[in-house]
Amino acid sequence: MKIRRTLHHDNPRWAVSWQDGGRQKRRFFTQERDARSFGKSLREEVRDMGGLMLDLDPLERASLMSAYLRAKELDISLGQALDAWEESGAGRAAVPLDGLVREFLVDKRKRGLRPRSLSALEGSCRALLASLGPTGDARAIAADDVAKFLDRPNWGARTRLRLLRDARNLFGWAVKRERLARNPALAVDRPVIDPKPPAVLTPSEAERLIRAAEEVEPVMVGYVALMLFAGLRPESEIGRLTRGDIRADVIEVRAIAKTRKRRLVPIEPNLRAFLDRWLPLGLDPRPVNWQDRWGRLRTAAGWKKGWPQDGARHSYVSYSYAIHGEVETSRRAGHSPDELHRSYRGLCTKVEAEAYFGVRPSGIDYAVRAAELDEERKKNGTRTRDEMVELARKRWRNASRTSGNPPV
């Protein structure tokens, strides 16, 4: 190190010169005392660093120098090398994939994930464990492993997309909980899915379905009408709907429904007509033994097989879009306007929509028809509607005694 007086840009200055990493460095000061103070601190720093090196034994010094030279060849610093080592998880205990999955599912259950969603997530995790190995170290899973897991000839694009989403969910949760340093599923490309327009019932098909309900299962008229003319989801929304949620002019879909968001669905005039004739039966929107009843009336309407997935809801959204437009339908259906524009725009004309919402009740008295059907079932030796309700209540009471839960 040298301290001397010199000219710097034609101005008198005090220069401090020293070697740093094989390079000559200089720093200029206007006052001599400042230059000498800087030189003193620099010498103390060099002395301290040298002391640290002297504290190491010869083998440690050689190892440190070797690591430094290797890092220099790779054009990285020793600090960067240590950061990468920590991120890799080397030196920490292994993270078995099955243990990670258990923690993940327990956390999802505690957060209140609905049983149906939790069951689907568990199925995805079981498939992932079967492919990658339950006891393998999750830190060693790479994007290629996830891609290989998804590469099944018997899985369609939608199945692969669902499994990829669930894998990203699992590994993303592990990163947030600091179990893993990275999410390997993020580097896997999403499967390409050819968009298909939603299946929409024609006005005549909708009428055929509601007429079958009136004729063979009048207790299901409310259930079918709410799907067709209010667009309610059959399980997550109608299954949680009470008679008190059906008001004079709107239906309240509470926050416990699928989207966990409350919304009010205006009651169309034709839906009001169906509800006014069905409500005096005193039944819940989704009656007892509804699965069997729903199957019978679909068969009676000509859909023993081939019922379009979510056909009633898709029909309501499509026809509502044609009459009420994008924004109003998004409020009614609980969809985003972008999704409506992308999936439902232009599927139906206004004339078709008016015919769809023009379907009205027939002249059948639902109470009388229900009584006639009960009498027919009694003659045939099958249970009547009241007997099925009482049987269900007995099952609920027996279940409450064994589970400790209050009766339904």
Q: Is 301 helix (H, G, I), strand (E, B) or coil?
A: coil
CATH class in words for 203-364: mainly alpha
What whole-number distance in Å separates Cα of residue 283 and Cα of residue 242? 9
Helix (H) or strand (E) holding 7: strand 2-8
The answer to whether residue 395 scores a pLDDT higher than 80 is no
Q: How confident is the model at residue 278 (pLDDT cuts 50, 70, 90)?
A: very high
Q: How confident is the model at residue 407 (pLDDT cuts 50, 70, 90)?
A: very low
Q: At what angle do helices 203-216 and 366-379 cross, to 10 degrees?
A: 60
Domain boundaries, the chain: 2-88, 97-187, 203-364
CB burial readout 369-391, b (16+ within 10 A) else e? bbeebbeeeeeeeeebbeebeee
* pLDDT tens-place string over residues 151-169: 988 898 989 999 999 999 9
DSSP characters over 17-58: EEEETTEEEEEEESSHHHHHHHHHHHHHHHHHHHHHHHHS-H
Q: Is 211 helix (H, G, I), strand (E, B) or coil?
A: helix
Q: Is 243 helix (H, G, I), strand (E, B) or coil?
A: helix
Confidence (pTM)? 0.60
* pLDDT tens-place string over residues 84-135: 766 665 556 778 999 999 999 999 998 888 788 889 999 999 999 999 888 7
* pLDDT tens-place string over residues 216-275: 999 999 999 999 999 999 888 998 899 899 999 999 998 555 556 788 999 999 999 999
Give me the pLDDT at residue 400, please.
46
CATH placement of domain 97-187 = 1.10.150.130
* pLDDT tens-place string over residues 366-388: 999 989 988 888 887 766 656 65
State the chain's mean pLDDT as an integer.
84
Q: Is 363 helix (H, G, I), strand (E, B) or coil?
A: coil
What whole-number distance in Å separates Cα of residue 166 and Cα of residue 319? 33
Say which residues have a Cβ less than 8 Å from residue 154's Cβ, sequence separation at least 6: none
